[in-house]
Amino acid sequence: MFFSQIVAERKIQEAILKGELDNLPGKGKPLQLEDESGIPEELRLAYKILKNADCLPPELELKKEIVQLRDLLRGMEDVDEKYRLMKRLNFQIMKLNMMRRASPLLEENQVYCEKVLERLSQKDSRKGGGGKKESKASSAFSTSE
């Protein structure tokens, strides 16, 4: 044993004899150990630090942003802004799918342009609008696929 370990052990034994460790929270209860078997040994300390700092892994950060973008997309009215947001959403979904090492069947689905264009044209026809914004968006959608 190293000298520092011997000193530490002595201090602990003295504290036990004096009763300084009797009133600690969780005394007599089992320790809550986390299963870190799936994390490589050299990364465990870094993961623990990130977890204690409330930092999420990149994959979960992306999933969180995707959920936020989908929520924003539902309430959006402007066609051009909706198109810009859909492009960003699809890009984030593509990044997430590329990060994963899983079957393509488990991949996140991208937002489909036809469904959005159909709904936008229905809204425009109800309002009596139509015209330039819709055709601009539809031409942009057709070139992105």
- What mean pLDDT comes out for the span 133-140? 45
68, 93 contact by CB (below 8 A)? no
Domain ranges for the chain, please list them.
Answer: 58-139
16-58 pLDDT tens trace: 899 888 888 888 888 777 777 777 888 888 888 888 888 877 8
Query: How many Å separate Cα 26 from the centre of its chain?
Result: 33
| Per-residue pLDDT tens over the stretch 79-127 | 888 889 988 998 998 888 887 766 666 666 666 666 667 777 787 777 6
Between 143 and 62, the higher pLDDT residue: 62
Residue 11: half-sphere exposure toward Cβ, Cα within 13 Å: 6
Question: 67-73 long-range CB contacts below 8 Å, 24 or more apart?
Answer: 70/111, 73/111
pTM here? 0.44
Q: How far apart are CA 44 and CA 33, in angstroms?
A: 13
